A and B are shown apart, each in its own frame.
Chain A
């Protein structure tokens, strides 16, 4: 195996890792603050992809149509997130985690059928948008330039989240709330408002990443569970609720997937799980996570 093949595969892995980071970071953020594991995060991602498809198709905006559709899809998903948090999750914070998990599972089922009802079961796709439509040659191998768009988007999100969590007042509150919710509440910060805000942000990220995934692969039913299982692998490897952990986990899972698929396509997912199992034996709470209390 020559260097150029390895490099090409490595770059594909980076792109896949970037997409995984886009989705997993929202999952990790909501879990970190709300302590609710959102099964429906993958469904919000899927819904974002389908909505961006329809917006792209029916708005028919020239040149920047895809980008406008992606931003609008993210905003719509933010609204959906507010509704879910306000009407469902808010009533369940005082209950046990099994009920919270099941409620988000119920949302998965409902969104699946909404998508089936509105868009049917076919595969849809959006052609790659303009400056990233072609391919670039890396050491003589064609590499879709859209992958660079995913990587840039992933990096932008890393920087944005880092800035948000570590450099703003809201970030101070987020970190404090993840550490001790009651203390934050006692300081006069309205926790319900914070939770709605964070869930909306997580849903927006899910919607945006769904839209970004549309030209990357196909849009189809079942993309929700495919991505959420890989995201679970990411957060279990990296550590739940940790930003650097999610970044590292995405990188690892992306690379393992990319090289696994080159070696044996049927077993790509199995390789990811082997890595996950190894991490679980050595550090059950993930590389950057904290031991359970």
Chain B
């Protein structure tokens, strides 16, 4: 046990300088980047939260959710409705967005955690599409396919730079909390459920309850991502909940490496910037994303970080 902790500290120390370097880069980014690229960076950070929330279920619990965007959209819609219709306080709307996503996550999760594998994916996809459908059709409450426009943040957050720092701080705090969570005993239980659910159950762990808790945490985190994105973008539309959107965190995790903590973030950054670049000359993004998925599946199993880890491990074991 003691040795384990030392090892973990060592791995933390090994990456420390990289982390500090990235932190500095993130904090000085607004002084270097143009407003266009700052916007893309904001999107990458927000979508990385969604990717982290997806990977909490996929990478750590072993369940592939194809409906994570539904919670993202719910968080966004909650904030948009509260701010535009009730002129609610911005910060309270944020909290409400997270709570609504978490609460709906609790209801949907109650059904989903009964299933494993493909069935779990089908059910999350189906529930996600159901929420999309309801918001799409409920015209006089949600604005239907027009969505909701004019969702403004408070005065002091109106400039892109100020909002960028807000997003960055929320991102860092959430990532830190999540990092602590997956490295806690709770995280060990999650991994245990992934590796061998029968044996974990024999240890006296109530699998369904832990999976439900994880599902709710992931839903709330996705809701947070949506809640902070919508005031930045000033509007929300039903396609935020659609399964194509749900496919993005899946893709990011596969690209970056679902077996690592930072993989989904790396994947989402690559995807978001690539997307912005591609959109400059074509609208056929789905076909490019589809081809990219196939390339990663066939040529880069384990994703970028997973692949790198494997290589490093191979070299180290050869060295000793």
Contacts and interface: CB of A to CB of B under 8 A. Distances in A.
A37 B138 contact: no
Given A103-B293, A281-B111, A292-B116, A225 B243 contact: yes
A101 B251 CA distance: 12
B298 interface: yes
Given A37-B122, A225-B243, A270 B284 contact: no
B123 A106 contact: no
B314 interface: no
B134 interface: yes
Contact of B250 (A95, A102, A107, A116): A102
Contact of A229 (B58, B129, B137): B129
Interface string B120-137: 011101110110011001
A110 B286 contact: yes
Given A105-B293, A229-B125, A280 B243 contact: no
Interface in B63-95: 64
Nearest to B107: A277
Interface residues of A, number: 40
B64 A98 contact: yes
Contact of A270 (B117, B130, B244, B301): B130
A106 B129 CA distance: 18
Contact of B297 (A103, A114, A229): A103
B137 A266 contact: yes
Nearest to B292: A106
B115 A95 contact: no
Contacts of B115: 280, 284
Contact of A114 (B114, B119, B247, B287): B287
Interface in A76-116: 88, 91-92, 95, 97-99, 101-103, 105-110, 112-114, 116
Contacts of B129: 225, 229, 269
Contacts of B133: 269-270
A273 interface: yes
11 contacts: A98-B64, A101-B121, A103-B293, A107-B290, A109-B244, A109-B247, A114-B287, A265-B137, A266-B137, A273-B130, A281-B111
Interface of B: 58, 64, 111, 114-119, 121-123, 125-127, 129-130, 133-134, 137-138, 243-244, 247, 250-251, 254, 284, 286-287, 289-291, 293-294, 297-298, 301
6 closest cross-chain pairs (CB), A and B:
A109-B290, A113-B287, A106-B293, A106-B290, A109-B286, A110-B290
